[in-house]
Amino acid sequence: GESVGLHLPTLSVQEGDNSIINCAYSNSASDYFIWYKQESGKGPQFIIDIRSNMDKRQGQRVTVLLNKTVKHLSLQIAATQPGDSAVYFCAESPNQAGTALIFGKGTTLSVSS
């Protein structure tokens, strides 16, 4: 599978590969994190979330890993499909009242068949 250690703006993978998208967040007090997928011309679509009291959470074909020590978040997509091609954003919630989300730099995932 394709893996990156630092944030890269683009990631190109082959269909069937595993993809890993990385994100650095800014506020050590943030306690809630979300990954969104945004397809061209559409709004962000919720993928998976994780709270700061966890370091891993799994969904359908996706896994989010949280490393609070280095303020790093990653999204793993198993068996990547062409329909996974989109821009992926991580977002953090630094306010426990659940107000503003702060978005990271997006990563454009391109899947070729």
Partner 1 sequence: DAGVTQSPTHLIKTRGQQVTLRCSPKSGHDTVSWYQQALGQGPQFIFQYYEEEERQRGNFPDRFSGHQFPNYSSELNVNALLLGDSALYLCASSSTGVETQYFGPGTRLLVL
- Give the binding site for partner 1 (CB under 8 A): 32, 34, 36, 42-46, 49, 89, 91, 93, 95, 97-106
**CB-nearer residue toward partner 1: 69 or 99:** 99
How far is 50 from 62, CA to CA, in rounded Å? 12
We find the least distance from the C-beta atom of residue 101 to partner 1, in angstroms, to be: 6
How far is 26 from 57, CA to CA, in rounded Å? 21
We find the least distance from the C-beta atom of residue 74 to partner 1, in angstroms, to be: 17
**CB-nearer residue toward partner 1: 42 or 69:** 42
